[in-house]
Copies of this chain bind each other. A is one copy, B any other.
Amino acid sequence: MLNFIRRDRPRQVVKKKITLKHIARELDVSISTVSKALKNSDEISQDTKEKVQAFARLYNYKPNNIAISLKNKRTKNIGVIIPDIVHHFFTTVFRGIEQYANEKGYNVIVCVSDESFDKEVINMEMLANGSIDGFIMALSAETQKRNDFNHLREVTEQGIPLVLFDRVTDEIDCDKVLIDDEQAAFDATARLIRSGKRHVALFTTEGYLNVSSKREQGYRKALVAEGLPVEEALILRLPYQFEEESLSEAFFRERRFDAVLCVNEIFAVRGMRLAQGMGYRVPEDISFIGFTDGLLSRYASPSLTSVAQHGERMGAVAAEMLIEKVEQEYDETDRKSYRTEIIPSSLVERESTALG
């Protein structure tokens, strides 16, 4: 009597999803027969198959994902944990992940750690209990600062694949995908010097971020490589969300530099603006290069030469590495070996640097 169409809700007919059991009942066969018929198993007669398949189509049968996950012990979900989502770089990486994952039939569960260690841990634990087949993550600032990676260790010890990107740690053995931050900073700095600049300043963040320090290293090495002194006074460490004033005007007024490498777009754009406000010309008097080639770089005036980090590529690679691990988990009794991929970045030249 088609009793799976519930009509007990008052004014709205709710067509509940139908199950194998319903089909079996209606067609007076067993559940296993239905299951096999839908998979076109040759155990089942042509006749029965057609009956079942027609019925299933008619009532739009779709197998329940949860039940399949439980049976297969695979969810086809991957968990992504990032420090922030309102952030151009992470967003582009996420897009790369989502695209690749989707192609492969995976869904993506995102959690935002908000740069907090606790949230990172909680989110991981939530997802690690069967909700996902693997993790892709960038560590929160707090986690990097505390140097506590037990939550990661727990997960990998359980055999759950993990891919770290951008904000990684050496403490954990897993796949990683990185930006060549040091190299990029090196190249950008060298590029400034070769265009005739002699005093290159660095605007970086104060604090613990791995990436900033790598960029600083590249900057230093480039100076040395080009035979220039590292002038510590030209390295300005700014608070993350700094206000106009903190980019001290005095620093500009003295102006003992003719070019600036900035570890992000915002520092660069604000720097340019301050410089222009004080009558300097960009790039003639001061050149600027930023990191993170986002909207700001493109639309600033002058437009900003910037290190493009190809986040989307990074995300795709991370997803590829993860899914490979997830799927091999079930083939070979694996030999685990972990890779670290470096995603090359490139310098997008715009108006804030004079063409050397």
Residues of chain A at the chain B interface (Cβ within 8 Å): 9-10, 12-17, 60, 62-67, 69-70, 75, 77, 85-86, 88, 91-92, 94-95, 98-99, 102, 107-112, 123, 125-131, 154, 157-159, 265-266, 269-270, 273, 276, 294-296, 299-301, 333-336
When distances are taken between beta carbons in the complex, the residues of chain B under 8 Å from A92 are: 86
Closest to A270 in B: B299
- Cα separation A294 to B88 with both chains bound (whole Å): 11
Cβ–Cβ < 8 Å partners of A130 in chain B: 17, 64-67
- Which residues in B have their C-beta under 8 angstroms from that of A266? 295, 299
Q: How far is the CA of A336 from the CA of B11 in the complex (A)?
A: 9
Q: How far is the CA of A108 from the CA of B300 in the complex (A)?
A: 34
Q: Which residues of B contact A129 (CB under 8 A)?
A: 17, 62-65
Q: A66-B131, A86-B92, A95-B86 are in contact. Are A108 and B107 (CB under 8 A)?
A: no
Whether B64 pairs with A66 at a CB distance below 8 angstroms is no
The interface residues of chain B lying within 8 Å CB-to-CB of A111 are 98, 102, 107-108
Are B112 and A109 in touch, CB under 8 angstroms?
A: no
Closest-CB distance, A264 to chain B (whole angstroms):
11
Instruction: Pull 18 A–B residue pairs with CB atoms less than 8 Å apart, ordered by A.
Output: A9-B333, A12-B336, A13-B157, A14-B159, A16-B159, A62-B129, A65-B126, A85-B95, A94-B110, A98-B110, A98-B111, A107-B126, A109-B110, A266-B299, A269-B299, A270-B299, A295-B296, A296-B299
The 10 closest A-B pairs by CB, nearest first: A64-B130, A14-B159, A66-B130, A65-B130, A269-B299, A62-B129, A65-B131, A65-B129, A66-B70, A66-B69
Q: How far is the CA of A250 from the CA of B154 in the complex (A)?
A: 64
- The reply to whether B88 and A86 form a contact with Cβ atoms under 8 Å apart is yes
Report how far A13 CA is from B131 CA in the complex, Å: 22
A108 to chain B, nearest CB (A): 6
Task: Say whether B158 contacts A17, CB under 8 Å.
Answer: yes
Q: This chain: how many copies in the complex?
A: 2
Taking the nearest CB of chain B, how far is it from the CB of A98, in angstroms? Answer: 5
In the complex, how many angstroms separate the beta carbon of A325 from the nearest chain B beta carbon?
A: 13
CA distance A77 to B154 in the complex (A): 23
Q: Which residues of B contact A98 (CB under 8 A)?
A: 85, 110-112
* Contact yes or no, B127 A107, CB < 8 A: yes
Bound-state CA distance A67–B66 (Å) is 8
A69 CA / B123 CA spacing, docked (Å): 18
Q: Which residue of A14, A67, A128, A159 has the most chain B CB atoms within 10 A of its CB atom?
A: A159
Query: Could you say which residues of chain B place their CB within 8 Å of the CB of A265?
Result: 295
> Do A86 and B77 form a contact, CB below 8 Å, given A63-B129, A67-B130, A129-B17?
no
Residues of chain B within 8 A (CB-CB) of A15 are 157-158
A295 to B300, CA, bound (A): 11
Q: Which of A66, A75, A109, A266 has most chain B Cβ within 10 Å?
A: A66
Chain B residue with Cβ nearest A334: B9
Q: Which residue of B lies closest to A303 (CB)?
A: B273
Q: In whole Å, how far is A274's beta carbon from the nearest beta carbon of chain B?
A: 10
Whether B299 and A77, one on each chain, are in contact in the complex, defined by CB atoms closer than 8 angstroms, is no
Name the residue on B nearest A312 (C-beta). B86
**When the two chains form their complex, are residues B107 and A131 in contact, meaning their CB atoms are under 8 A apart?**
yes
Give me 5 other A-B pairs in contact (C-beta within 8 A), A16-B159, A66-B131, A86-B88 excluded: A9-B333, A17-B129, A62-B125, A66-B70, A77-B131
Report the Cα distance A65→B10, complex, angstroms: 33
